[in-house]
Chain A
């Protein structure tokens, strides 16, 4: 069994920030990440083989990224790329799959820094090749400098739509429409004082809008994608006005021809680790849905297990960087590597910076508050679970037979039992039940989270160096004749 003071799950902005702090205080730290290179989504790196020949707009975060990446080289750090943490067999122990290095680790503290992924919002045609998420588009640009098509529609909800549109325009693609579901423009002025708590981010948004205006990419608020159409690939999308309650005016729909649809409906914290570990979760629709309950010190309901960054509630990269450092500081203090006074001195500026971005966040959340529900977008034929190919109609059919709870729908349709382990469909399942029963989403009982939290191969598990299991005496054998 491997041992560490701190096990960090995720080498994105949060995990790396924590790893800048805790090892320097003397903690022995292991970092697990399921990507080949550190950086997570925001600081996703180009392949190491690529050579930059000149500075471009894509390098504006180079300085911060380079500092973060130094974390993995600290002598107190063991960094495991291509590693999937999949089980929590005993308190304080994590099992991970990482090819030949697969194994288990016992850690005095655990920091879950798993980030977020795009909120899945099903609509007719959303499974067509050519429809990608906002995060997926960003990753193609950051990780490969590739854009998926030359005429795109960007639709959904949230500030990421502007970033995506700007990246497409910079790559020379035509952005035929940007449809923001929230009436963001109308809400902007009222919330500007709050937004100006982070003037650097407001400035970025102004730049994106300038780029969009210059390229003639129309940014419409109060409009949503209602359908993607095509044969084997996307050919056109249908957009329609939507009000703040989520009601769609289909009579005013318009069709836009395009080869790419970037659908970004905001982000969901990755909660599978908290579900696996048994941390209590809470629901906040403004910050991405389910997230772990946390103390001021970022500790979850289970002592010794900490949660920070987007995976603990969407806040964006600035939040993630600060919370990561704060988590590293607090954990070092709790484990006795950092004195109370030193820890307080280090934490104070982090907490006040966090407070500033929190005020900004409130403004942002008010501007982009999504429609009350997205369930009106779905038709009977719409796929609600991609892995198991389950349509809304099949769910409705089972409900009519009495399979009404989340668990019963899961068991009878296989929804959420596929390769993504429910990561891409549980929010939909919960939203459907909430809308059906007229209750809040947080009142829906999710099926239990079970290992593996993420898909792993048996081959990986066979690499685990575990002691031989001790079997109880076999009651079916006569005494004294145990098989060895």
Chain B
């Protein structure tokens, strides 16, 4: 018997419904309805979500509960959105945040 390839999504006892895709830095990532952007990226094997302004250090999901703001990304043109608290949507445009994000994204609330 061959070993099953490792799946970061636990499949047992769960029907996640129909998968859809959103874009991460221009490439498609699969997600399920209700899944957070962070969970979908991590299930896809992507861990680096941004790099920091001052020391340009890579960062990703850390606290996973909205406390630390480490997982912020540029989502649909808005900078500093927490990937762990944002539901993935079909067609969403998710980008790695470099520093503060592109100047054009710093427009305040939608």
Contacts and interface: CB of A to CB of B under 8 A. Distances in A.
B15 A386 contact: no
A230 B67 CA distance: 25
Interface of B: 4, 6-10, 12-17, 32-36, 39, 42-43, 47-49, 52-55, 57-70, 72, 80, 84-85, 87, 108-110
B65 A117 contact: yes
A148 B61 contact: yes
A419 B55 contact: no
B64 A420 contact: no
Contacts of A144: 9, 35-36, 39, 43
Contact of B6 (A129, A150, A460): A150
B42 A140 contact: yes
A457 B109 contact: yes
A199 interface: no
A65 interface: no
Contacts of B59: 127, 129, 386
B34 A129 contact: no
B65 A41 contact: yes
A381 to B, nearest CB: 10
3 closest pairs, A vs B, by CB?
A: A459-B109, A47-B34, A136-B64
B108 A459 contact: yes
A171 B13 CA distance: 12
A149 interface: yes
A141 interface: yes
A50 B14 contact: yes
A61 B64 CA distance: 21
Given A49-B32, A52-B14, A146-B39, A139 B69 contact: no
Contacts of A47: 32-35, 87
B48 A49 contact: no
A419 B101 CA distance: 15
A470 interface: no
> Which of B8, B10, B35, B64 lies at the interface centre, i.e. has the most chain A CB atoms within 10 A of its CB?
B64
Contacts of B64: 132-133, 135-140
A419 B49 contact: no
A129 B55 CA distance: 15
Contacts of A133: 62-64
Nearest to A171: B10
A146 B43 contact: yes
Interface in A152-195: 170-173
A136 B15 contact: no
12 contacts: A35-B66, A36-B87, A46-B34, A49-B17, A50-B32, A129-B49, A136-B64, A140-B64, A141-B10, A172-B6, A383-B57, A459-B110
A232 interface: yes
A172 B4 CA distance: 10
A149 B17 CA distance: 23
Contact of B17 (A51, A132, A137, A145): A51
A144 B16 CA distance: 10
Given A127-B57, A419-B72, A52 B13 contact: yes
B36 A129 contact: no
Given A136-B62, A386-B68, A387-B68, 4 more contacts: A36-B87, A49-B17, A51-B14, A54-B12
A128 B48 CA distance: 8
